[in-house]
Amino acid sequence: LMALATFICFVASRSHEAYTALAVIEVVITLLFFLLYLLKLDKKMKWLFWPLADIFNSVIAAVFLLVVCLFAVIIKTNYGTLVGGVFGLVLLVLCIVDAVVLFRKISLSGPRERNYPTR
Protein backbone atom coordinates (compact mmCIF):
# COMPACT_ATOMS: atom_id res chain seq x y z
CA LEU A 1 0.00 0.00 0.00
CA MET A 2 2.92 2.34 0.70
CA ALA A 3 4.31 1.71 -2.79
CA LEU A 4 0.90 2.46 -4.27
CA ALA A 5 0.66 5.70 -2.27
CA THR A 6 4.14 6.67 -3.48
CA PHE A 7 3.13 5.94 -7.07
CA ILE A 8 -0.07 7.98 -6.78
CA CYS A 9 1.81 10.96 -5.32
CA PHE A 10 4.41 10.88 -8.09
CA VAL A 11 1.77 10.55 -10.82
CA ALA A 12 -0.45 13.26 -9.37
CA SER A 13 2.44 15.71 -9.09
CA ARG A 14 3.69 14.90 -12.63
CA SER A 15 7.16 14.35 -11.28
CA HIS A 16 10.09 12.87 -13.17
CA GLU A 17 9.50 9.59 -14.98
CA ALA A 18 12.20 7.79 -12.99
CA TYR A 19 10.30 8.40 -9.75
CA THR A 20 7.06 7.07 -11.23
CA ALA A 21 8.74 4.10 -12.91
CA LEU A 22 10.40 2.96 -9.69
CA ALA A 23 7.14 3.24 -7.76
CA VAL A 24 5.13 1.32 -10.37
CA ILE A 25 7.78 -1.41 -10.62
CA GLU A 26 7.73 -1.85 -6.86
CA VAL A 27 3.91 -2.04 -6.86
CA VAL A 28 3.94 -4.67 -9.62
CA ILE A 29 6.68 -6.80 -8.03
CA THR A 30 4.95 -6.64 -4.65
CA LEU A 31 1.66 -7.72 -6.20
CA LEU A 32 3.38 -10.59 -8.01
CA PHE A 33 4.96 -11.85 -4.79
CA PHE A 34 1.61 -11.45 -3.02
CA LEU A 35 -0.14 -13.52 -5.70
CA LEU A 36 2.66 -16.08 -5.66
CA TYR A 37 2.21 -16.71 -1.95
CA LEU A 38 -1.59 -16.35 -2.03
CA LEU A 39 -2.03 -18.95 -4.77
CA LYS A 40 0.66 -21.15 -3.18
CA LEU A 41 2.63 -21.19 -6.41
CA ASP A 42 5.85 -21.17 -4.39
CA LYS A 43 5.03 -24.76 -3.37
CA LYS A 44 4.50 -25.81 -6.98
CA MET A 45 7.57 -24.06 -8.40
CA LYS A 46 10.24 -25.52 -6.17
CA TRP A 47 13.10 -24.75 -8.55
CA LEU A 48 13.62 -21.38 -6.84
CA PHE A 49 13.92 -20.63 -3.14
CA TRP A 50 11.24 -17.93 -3.05
CA PRO A 51 11.97 -16.39 0.38
CA LEU A 52 15.52 -15.71 -0.76
CA ALA A 53 14.20 -14.14 -3.97
CA ASP A 54 11.93 -11.97 -1.81
CA ILE A 55 14.94 -10.89 0.28
CA PHE A 56 16.89 -9.96 -2.86
CA ASN A 57 13.88 -8.00 -4.12
CA SER A 58 13.64 -6.09 -0.83
CA VAL A 59 17.36 -5.26 -0.75
CA ILE A 60 17.50 -4.12 -4.38
CA ALA A 61 14.30 -2.10 -3.97
CA ALA A 62 15.73 -0.48 -0.84
CA VAL A 63 18.87 0.62 -2.71
CA PHE A 64 16.88 2.11 -5.59
CA LEU A 65 14.38 3.72 -3.24
CA LEU A 66 17.20 5.31 -1.25
CA VAL A 67 18.65 6.99 -4.34
CA VAL A 68 15.43 8.03 -6.04
CA CYS A 69 13.51 9.16 -2.96
CA LEU A 70 16.44 11.16 -1.60
CA PHE A 71 16.58 12.98 -4.92
CA ALA A 72 12.81 13.54 -4.77
CA VAL A 73 13.02 14.96 -1.23
CA ILE A 74 16.11 17.08 -1.88
CA ILE A 75 15.00 18.53 -5.21
CA LYS A 76 11.29 18.81 -4.18
CA THR A 77 10.00 20.31 -7.42
CA ASN A 78 6.52 20.47 -5.90
CA TYR A 79 4.58 19.30 -2.87
CA GLY A 80 3.45 16.01 -4.45
CA THR A 81 7.02 15.02 -5.26
CA LEU A 82 8.06 15.81 -1.70
CA VAL A 83 5.23 13.72 -0.24
CA GLY A 84 5.97 10.88 -2.68
CA GLY A 85 9.63 11.00 -1.64
CA VAL A 86 8.71 10.80 2.03
CA PHE A 87 6.37 7.87 1.35
CA GLY A 88 9.18 6.27 -0.62
CA LEU A 89 11.57 6.66 2.33
CA VAL A 90 8.99 5.01 4.58
CA LEU A 91 8.76 2.23 1.98
CA LEU A 92 12.55 1.97 2.12
CA VAL A 93 12.39 1.31 5.85
CA LEU A 94 9.65 -1.28 5.30
CA CYS A 95 11.76 -3.03 2.65
CA ILE A 96 14.71 -3.22 5.04
CA VAL A 97 12.49 -4.57 7.83
CA ASP A 98 11.02 -7.12 5.42
CA ALA A 99 14.48 -8.29 4.35
CA VAL A 100 15.70 -8.61 7.94
CA VAL A 101 12.60 -10.46 9.14
CA LEU A 102 12.72 -12.88 6.20
CA PHE A 103 16.45 -13.45 6.62
CA ARG A 104 16.00 -14.29 10.29
CA LYS A 105 13.08 -16.58 9.51
CA ILE A 106 14.74 -18.75 6.87
CA SER A 107 17.39 -21.31 7.58
CA LEU A 108 19.59 -22.48 4.76
CA SER A 109 21.15 -25.46 6.54
CA GLY A 110 18.35 -26.86 8.67
CA PRO A 111 14.87 -28.12 7.92
CA ARG A 112 12.30 -25.55 6.91
CA GLU A 113 9.50 -24.87 9.32
CA ARG A 114 5.90 -24.63 8.21
CA ASN A 115 3.76 -21.58 8.92
CA TYR A 116 0.53 -23.42 8.42
CA PRO A 117 -0.96 -26.50 10.07
CA THR A 118 -0.50 -29.81 8.30
CA ARG A 119 -3.43 -32.07 7.59
**Model pTM score:** 0.69
Distances (CA, A) of 94 to 43, 46, 78, 90, 111: 25, 27, 25, 6, 27
pLDDT single digits (tens) 77-108? 778 777 777 888 888 888 888 888 888 877 66
DSSP string across 45-89: -TTS-HHHHHHHHHHHHHHHHHHHHHHHHHH--SHHHHHHHHHHH
Distance of alpha carbon 109 from alpha carbon 113, whole angstroms: 12
**pLDDT confidence bin for 3, thresholds 50/70/90:** confident
pLDDT at position 25: 84
The answer to whether residue 4 scores a pLDDT higher than 60 is yes
Boundaries of every domain in the chain = 1-44, 45-112
pLDDT at position 69: 80
The answer to whether residue 116 scores a pLDDT higher than 70 is no
- pLDDT average, residue stretch 28-43: 82
- pLDDT average, residue stretch 7-17: 74
